[in-house]
A and B are shown apart, each in its own frame.
Chain A
Amino acid sequence: MDIRAQISMVFHLDKCIGCHTCSVACKNIWTDRKGAEYMWWNNVETKPGTGYPTRWEDQDIYKGGWKKEREGELGLRGSGKLRGLLNIFHNPHLPVIDDYYEPFTYKYLDLIESPEGDDQPTARPVSLITGEPIDIKMGPNWDDDLSGTPDYARKDPNLHDLSPAEQEAMFQLERMAMFYLPRICNHCLNPACVAACPSGAIYKRGEDGVVLINQQVCRAWRMCVTACPYKKTYYNWSTGKSEKCILCYPRLESGHAPACMHSCVGRIRYLGVVLYDADEIRLVAETEDEKDLVARQRSMIMDPFAPGVIEAAKKNGIPDSTIQAAQRSPVYKFVREWGLALPLHPEFRTLPMLFYVPPLLPVMASLGASDSSQAAKVNPMAKVWDEGRLYNSTTEELWGTIDQARFPLKYMANLFTGGDEEGIKVVLKKLMAVRIWRRHVTVGDVSAERAQEALSGAGIDSEMADAIYNLTTLAKFDDRFVIPPSHREQAIEMVEFVGDAKGSTGFGFKEQPMRGL
């Protein structure tokens, strides 16, 4: 058992309102620079949709991530020993700038500095790359809220296993639904970008697992851009180095939440440390059946209360404060204890450590039976409920609506479980059960038996349901972000002998003062 610590995240998609505040917070801090204008280390996508860069999930186009080779071993889809050597000076699968979008601004000064004339002055768009006036052709989130559109939603790569009839049903005007998918770097346990870098510039930090690109070592091969199946490394055309989300490690080290998480309006983001068994990485990543990946990855995350795990963690030099943080970690609860959070596209086999609580659609609601004229308009899947309500997603047929959800389970399974519909169903059942339970507690129009029935059907008890409810809806800053102290006072001893600095603190001088006059 090789226990290591990883700072891991959970995004609760039911709470995301798609406001892009996270993206803007990140952009303002990190990528508002020359060469980085087109980068969105954090972006929010509408699903179904094509995302950013467009169709990033389609590895037939971009050749990212791992795939099983002969003899069951893993190999990079886009490079590898021989293929990497052949392509080293010429990487054929790179996204082009138009796959992202050409970044632009407007000549706002023209609005106020133009001489008086017959026409209203306009602010022409100019490219942030060339500085020349351009026609804006694409933006980073131009599929925003455009579910059902042929250009975006219907080209979603996750529709690949859905029959045409299912797809058609998804995009009927009355049934159309969507949710938001905020994405940052997953800080994977088996990162393809690290494996693909010919210069060895990318590394996973030992103390917290943050994946970073050393800007001094990067030699612009751009193999990481291809290798990352999430397209979360970006090439800076001005510095000639690749860049990616750094999980705001300067903020983490001083106890602050990353900017995207701190600024999140819906408070959908959770961050905490988990302990995992590094010996398992290879075995789990090489799992034969894609559908087993989620369960096996979950099993890698170790119980931070188990004495054996604590002992092994201490032996690996993990400080007590980190173990304590792991015991309070909201991520451990969501992922391991409650089994609610799922990795995005586990089939890329990078073992991403950003987990998502899938959205429970449709939103549970009810419609008064007194307004029976509505009954005819209600979607067939809504049931007339004998207790006087029409739109029933609750108790009459407990799980009927999950199977008939507006999003086919297959679609959600393609996103979060590598195609395992059962895996997604279990999670949705739990989410539904918590709602039914809380409705029983707070509104009281659901009977106790039905509520209990829902809970036991989902395999949870009322205590756990309340805990889920608390962390989902009432969690305070310190509940959502349990950041382990970074012990920088110890970390510095790895790179320099601190005894050298003894006695040198205090005033610093730019020029040594002269004694005397």
Chain B
Amino acid sequence: MKTLGSILFLFLIGMPTAILLGQDVREGEALFKTCATCHSIGAGKLIGPDLANIDQRRTEPWLIKFIHSSQSMVKGGDKDAVAIFNEYKIPMPDQNLSDQQIRSILAYIVSKSPGREVPNSEPEVVADKKDAVDSLSDTLKPEPLPPGTIAGRTIEDATKFDFITGGGLFSGRLRFDNGGPSCISCHTVRTDEVISGGALAKDLTDSYGRLSAAGLAAFLGSPQFPAMATAYQDHPLTEEEIYGLVAFLKEVNDNPSQSGGNYGVELLLGGGIGAVLLLGMYAGLWFRRRKGTVHQEIFSRQMKSE
């Protein structure tokens, strides 16, 4: 009876803690999927910094503030924030998360940081069975892929075909399978392969250089900037499409077109001369127009009320 009582006691005391801790970490794990686009935990830099042991480098209030709005901190002149922004050049999008949710994410990060993994808080299962499952999953697990692998291939394997496909997807000549808008609606690249595109968002010519294959792939898989996130929310890109786009952007980055892009004075001059010519032509036509009315003589004699 004593044993039963102590078990019950343990259960009553321990359970809430375990549940609480487990919940935090599980919620954090779910939320971290968003972060994983740009950040890794212990696997090196992606678009943003590696977050392993972040709690030892920054204070929690600083992190919460930064995650809420990184740019306001940069503008506010926070030394660390400015340093990070200068290093990575891409502003971290504002995250609409509660403080509690951010703490959950941080808890998850800590739990995954190398050397600090907390013991599995899940209720014990039969050890043999768990081992069996583990070993089974180990044998089934594919070879760990080298970084920069997309759709099972490294970007170095890209062929001319991938490049053309990517160009087609970028320019809208090919449709995205899930119906997402083509890149050219908002972005442009300096290349002879596609016509120049939109000026609403960043020039992507050197995006491969900045983000590398892994970063681009991660970003395209789950876009984080508000406009893109909304646009692709229900129209995610497929792995193959991402591979093609990355191949295209790599090619564009490696061999940007020398011509085009900046028309400057020629465009202005051409437009001006064209306008003068056109207006001159219109004026020439206009001068052949009947002037006034056949009644003019009568009208000019008439009295006006004002």
> Most chain-A Cβ atoms within 10 A of its Cβ — which of B285, B290, B297?
B290
Instruction: Report which of B289, B290, B304 forms a contact with A135, defined as CB distance below 8 A.
Output: B304
Asked if B58 CB lies within 8 Å of chain A CBs, one says: no
Tell me which of A88-96, A236-244, A466-474 binds B. Answer: A88-96
Nearest neighbor of A138 in chain B, beta-carbon distance: B295
- Given known A135-B302, A135-B304, A135-B305, contact A90–B286 (CB-CB < 8 A): yes
Q: B293, A99: Cβ atoms under 8 Å?
A: yes
Q: B285, A90: Cβ atoms under 8 Å?
A: yes
Q: A92, B289: Cβ atoms under 8 Å?
A: yes
Asked if B263 CB lies within 8 Å of chain A CBs, one says: no
- Given known A61-B290, A99-B293, A135-B304, contact A92–B298 (CB-CB < 8 A): no
Asked if B294 CB lies within 8 Å of chain A CBs, one says: yes
Min CB gap A310→B, angstroms: 49
Nearest neighbor of A53 in chain B, beta-carbon distance: B294
Q: A54, B302: Cβ atoms under 8 Å?
A: no
Asked if A55 CB lies within 8 Å of chain B CBs, one says: yes
Q: What 0/1 pattern do residues 275 to 300 of B give for CB contact below 8 A with A?
A: 00000001001101110111101110
Nearest neighbor of B285 in chain A, beta-carbon distance: A90
Min CB gap B304→A, angstroms: 6
Task: Tell me how many residues of B have a C-beta within 8 Å of chain A.
Answer: 17
| Interface footprint category on A | 10 to 19
Nearest neighbor of B305 in chain A, beta-carbon distance: A135
Min CB gap A356→B, angstroms: 24
Nearest neighbor of B299 in chain A, beta-carbon distance: A137
Chain B neighbourhood of A98, CB < 8 A: 292-293, 295, 299
CA distance A27 to B304 in the complex (A): 29
Q: A54, B304: Cβ atoms under 8 Å?
A: no
Interface of B, secondary structure class, is loop
- Given known A135-B302, A135-B305, contact A54–B286 (CB-CB < 8 A): no
CA distance A87 to B281 in the complex (A): 12
Q: A138, B288: Cβ atoms under 8 Å?
A: no
Min CB gap B282→A, angstroms: 8
CA distance A98 to B297 in the complex (A): 12
Instruction: Report which of B290, B297, B299, B303 forms a contact with A92, defined as CB distance below 8 A.
Output: B290
CA distance A135 to B293 in the complex (A): 16
Chain B neighbourhood of A151, CB < 8 A: 297-298
Q: B290, A137: Cβ atoms under 8 Å?
A: no
Chain A neighbourhood of B292, CB < 8 A: 96, 98
Min CB gap A102→B, angstroms: 10
Chain A neighbourhood of B286, CB < 8 A: 90
Q: What 0/1 pattern do residues 57 to 68 of B give for CB contact below 8 A with A?
A: 000000000000
Nearest neighbor of A136 in chain B, beta-carbon distance: B302
Chain B neighbourhood of A138, CB < 8 A: 295, 298-299
Q: A92, B285: Cβ atoms under 8 Å?
A: yes
CA distance A87 to B298 in the complex (A): 30
- Given known A135-B302, A135-B304, A137-B302, contact A96–B288 (CB-CB < 8 A): no
Instruction: Report which of B282, B293, B297, B305 forms a contact with A96, defined as CB distance below 8 A.
Output: B293
- Given known A135-B302, A135-B304, A135-B305, contact A92–B288 (CB-CB < 8 A): yes
Chain B neighbourhood of A99, CB < 8 A: 293-295
Chain A neighbourhood of B289, CB < 8 A: 90, 92
Chain A neighbourhood of B297, CB < 8 A: 151
CA distance A137 to B302 in the complex (A): 8
Chain A neighbourhood of B298, CB < 8 A: 137-138, 151
Q: A61, B305: Cβ atoms under 8 Å?
A: no
A-B contact pairs, 28 of them (CB 8 A): A50-B294, A54-B295, A55-B294, A61-B290, A61-B294, A90-B282, A90-B285, A90-B286, A90-B289, A92-B285, A92-B288, A92-B289, A92-B290, A93-B290, A94-B290, A96-B293, A98-B293, A99-B294, A99-B295, A135-B302, A135-B303, A135-B304, A137-B295, A137-B298, A137-B302, A138-B295, A151-B297, A151-B298
20 more contacts with CB within 8 A, not counting A90-B289, A98-B293, are A53-B294, A54-B294, A54-B295, A61-B290, A86-B285, A92-B285, A92-B288, A93-B290, A94-B290, A95-B290, A96-B290, A96-B293, A98-B299, A99-B293, A99-B295, A135-B302, A135-B303, A135-B304, A138-B295, A151-B298
Residues of chain B touching chain A, judged by Cβ–Cβ distance below 8 Å, are 282, 285-286, 288-290, 292-295, 297-299, 302-305
